Structure 1
Amino acid sequence: MRRFGPLLFGRRTRRRWIHLILGGALAMPYVFVGSIASGPLLDETTLFGSFSSQLLAFALGLPLAAVTALFPLTRPMSVAAVRALCAVPDEALADGPPRTRRERGRTAAWFTLHLGCGGIISGMTLALVPFAFFLIALPVFVGLQDSWLGLPGALRRPWTLVAAPVAGAASLLGLAGCVAASGALLAGAAPRLLGPTPADRLAAAEQRAADLAVRNRLARELHDSVGHALSAVTLQASAARRVLDHDPEFVREALAAIEDTTRRTVSELDAVLGVLREGDQRASTAPAPTLAADLDGLLRRTRAGGLRVRAAVELGPGGADALPPLVSREAYRIVQEALSNALRHAGPGTAVTLRITRDASGLDLVAENPLPPAAVAAAAPARPGGGHGLRGVADRARLLGGTTASGPAGGVWRLRVRLPLEPPA
């Protein structure tokens, strides 16, 4: 009894019972329309005549329900009801209206099944519950046995009065069993009829991939712009503090570089965060820094932080302005990350060699800086959460169809990136 009690009368069964009653309520307009046709077929003058007329009206109403289930909003409303009342996992059900003929057919089959089972259970509930309580109360309330009720003689016999409560309880148990079975049938059929198709799963996977790509792009942009700015500002402020007393001209240059860096970074940060704001179009319209427009400023701000940068730029006819905009933008971020790494790991006063060359098919970026002394490297603790810069450079190059190589070589740290001038689609 402990095992079957929750199965027949538990919270899940009660909620599914409500779902079935809802289906019966939705079936009533279709049954009413069916009864209009069933009366003439059976030569009955009343709207709801015999039991056979009611069954025929119910049978004629279900095809009408299947036709109206082709309405696009039927599936979203059905899915919402199933999620709320049938204890079906959310991921097993599809979202949105059906898009294909097969999905519409499955939705119509579900709607017909729901209304069919709901109509039967609703009818049983309306008929059996009062009758069962009548049988249970029959031997208790003597007034119910009076002749004015029109009870047949068989119901007044002693053995009938003893068996009536048992029959009433059995009727309620039978109804509960039918409810549990019908609810389980609908819960099992919902994922097959209202669940996502392979096309839905593919669309969901593509949406997740697109969301992940946006998140990764935002992470790269924030790392490259804000991370570089913080590293540069930190080193510029540190260098200015050390020479504050005897080199005020350098201090003025460092403070000007800090002001320029922070102003540009705030603008870039606002553009990146605009992607996260629903309905904000600034992310698509705000200009992104490019190699053509912003390389000189980047080198000037980096040098103001104490890093000695020797830049060799050979871009041929047209210079940086002739580069494709996407390549120019990603090349700027890669150079920015290379200089930022040199600032963080090599320290002020380090000489960095930057070579940017272009040939007929692509753009080569090479950045070299001396490796820090072993004692300094051992004393410098690893930055928590660091190590994402080179991964971001590799991601940018890979998205453009390019290649990267980085590592120590001959006492220097070298980063080499090759970007094609015509990225893949």
Structure 2
Amino acid sequence: MPYFLLASVLLAMLGGPGDSLASLSAMLTAYAIALPLATVSALLPLVRPLAVAGVRALGGVPVAGLAEGPARSWAERGRTSAWWTLHLGLGALVSGLSLAMPPMAGLLLAAPLLGRERRVELGMGWFADGSRLWTAPLAGLLILAVVVGCAAVAGALLARAVPVLLGPSTADRLAAAEERAADLAVRNRLARELHDAVGHALSAVTLQAVAARRVLDRDPEFVREALAAIEDTTRRTVGELDTVLGLLRDGDAARPDAAPAPTLGADLAGLLARTRATGAAVTAYQDPGPVGSWEALPAIVSREAYRIVQEGLSNALRHGAGGPVELHLAVREKEETRVLEIVMTNVPAAPGGGPAGRGGGGRGLRGAGERAALLGGSVEAGPDVGRWRLRAVLPLGGGGR
């Protein structure tokens, strides 16, 4: 209607046919002018979300494949413009038929009840003759059927045009795929953080409590150390859990009060001490090599390496047979690139290989592999000559992706 009214004003300014909108020629001319106006206005990017919202509200068509967001390219704008013009053009015709034809059909249906003079007065002179009067109701029914048929045909045509003109383009599908991939990456990252932080803490606290209970009467000093380790572990884990939940609530926005992520340089000694407080014998061999110290590692490598070591120790605590754990950390030169190599070995609980669930690569080992892959490195884990062995290689620069 806005396009039609604007076209009528332009027509009146140009001295078009007819003095009123009631003039059929004026209405048809205004309709012919309004369609190009609608076509041009639909080139605006925001018209597509409006058109998609209208299709969803009307229903009756599959809406799962509709494009999202404003039109980006001129090809998308052109398809949206074609839909807009087709929708409004057919809608105007169906609206006109729906307004004009039912009253006419009603008069024809009532014609047998009217006198001859009244039928002539209402413009139904052809039905004034009594021999033709019986055809008036049939004509009325035919007019109603034509109106309904036109509406149905127009609806079917528009429904078939929706996926072609308002469906997602290749660029839309690519943008949606990238958005889903980004969401999945965030979910995986949060899942890894929760698993590594909370899972390790629960394993360590459980074993520390068990070890303390067993020697409660014989070794009070060990019990005090175990309780102190439990306190330290739970305090650290609460801080890490708060940080992860903050990321879940606020996205990637950094919080000034968030606890810093643990790193190899700052937190490795504490991790080893808390692990030893469970009664496990952990021997660590450290060789920073050319970097000099773990504090000199790139921050992201240090964080991911800490989590990989943490996951390896968690597996050793959960699945180990109480045997010793050996941890080797070394920076090496490999093909003109410096890499951090992490090797951890321990005796598995089940003879002849890893325990149930370990060989299949649980969530923790899979998460460690994802962490390494993000840096361009790799993780290998599995039985090795009667022991369980985990080996990770992390490039220190130039290999991340």
Same-fold call, TM > 0.5? yes
State the 1:386 CA deviation.
Answer: 8.2
Query: 1:175 pairs with 112, 122, 147, which one?
Result: 147
Q: Which has the higher helix share?
A: 1
In 2: Cα distance, 1:211 partner to 1:234 partner: 34
Query: 1:408 pairs with 370, 378, 383, which one?
Result: 383
Percent identity (aligned): 57
Q: Deviations over 1:141-178 (max 9, x none)?
A: 33696368444543222333211111111111111111
Instruction: Give matches, 1:73-92, under 5 Å.
Output: 73-92=46-65
Structure 2: which amino acid aligns with 1:322? A
Query: 1:368 pairs with 345, 352, 371, which one?
Result: 345
State the 1:233 CA deviation.
Answer: 0.6
Report SS of the residue matched to 2:21.
Answer: coil
In 2: Cα distance, 1:299 partner to 1:104 partner: 61
Q: Gaps spanning 5+ residues in structure 2: where?
A: none
Q: Deviations over 1:307-342 (max 9, x none)?
A: 110001110343001111111111100100110000
Structure 2: which amino acid aligns with 1:32? L
Q: Check if 1:100 corresponds to 2:73.
A: yes
Report SS of the residue matched to 1:158.
Answer: coil
Query: 2:25 pairs with 38, 52, 59, which one?
Result: 52
Query: 2:194 pairs with 188, 200, 222, which one?
Result: 222
Instruction: Give matches, 1:211-250, under 5 Å.
Output: 211-250=183-222
Q: Check if 1:358 corresponds to 2:331.
A: yes
TM-score by length of 2: 0.91
Counterpart in the other structure of 1:424: 400
Q: Deviations over 1:318-368 (max 9, x none)?
A: 300111111111110010011000000114x42100010012310110101
Change over 3 Å in CA distance of 1:127–1:260 after alignment to 2 = same
Counterpart in the other structure of 1:252: 224
In 2: Cα distance, 1:58 partner to 1:406 partner: 73
Q: Check if 1:339 corresponds to 2:313.
A: yes
Q: Deviations over 1:391-421 (max 9, x none)?
A: 1122211221112222222221111111111
Q: Check if 1:276 corresponds to 2:264.
A: no
Larger relative contact order (Cα-Cα within 8 Å, sequence gap ≥ 6): 1
Structure 1: which amino acid aligns with 2:231? E
Report SS of the residue matched to 1:333.
Answer: helix
In 2: Cα distance, 1:57 partner to 1:67 partner: 16
Q: Check if 1:132 corresponds to 2:132.
A: no
The answer as to whether partners of 1:42 and 1:53 remain within 8 angstroms in 2 is no
Report SS of the residue matched to 1:312.
Answer: strand
Structure 2: which amino acid aligns with 1:133? G
Query: 1:320 pairs with 285, 294, 313, which one?
Result: 294
Structure 1: which amino acid aligns with 2:393? R
Cα RMSD for the two superposed structures: 2.5
Structure 1: which amino acid aligns with 2:27? Q
In 2: Cα distance, 1:382 partner to 1:391 partner: 12
Report SS of the residue matched to 1:53.
Answer: helix
Q: Gaps spanning 5+ residues in structure 1: where?
A: 1-27
Query: 2:137 pairs with 158, 165, 174, which one?
Result: 165
The answer as to whether partners of 1:86 and 1:183 remain within 8 angstroms in 2 is no
State the 1:49 CA deviation.
Answer: 5.3
Counterpart in the other structure of 1:5: none
The number of residues matched between the two structures is 393
In 2: Cα distance, 1:295 partner to 1:169 partner: 88
Counterpart in the other structure of 1:303: 276
Counterpart in the other structure of 2:168: 196
The answer as to whether partners of 2:331 and 2:339 remain within 8 angstroms in 1 is yes
In 2: Cα distance, 1:85 partner to 1:254 partner: 66
State the 1:56 CA deviation.
Answer: 1.0
In 2: Cα distance, 1:267 partner to 1:144 partner: 94
Change over 3 Å in CA distance of 1:228–1:415 after alignment to 2 = same
Counterpart in the other structure of 1:291: 264
In 2: Cα distance, 1:152 partner to 1:223 partner: 83
Report SS of the residue matched to 2:168.
Answer: coil
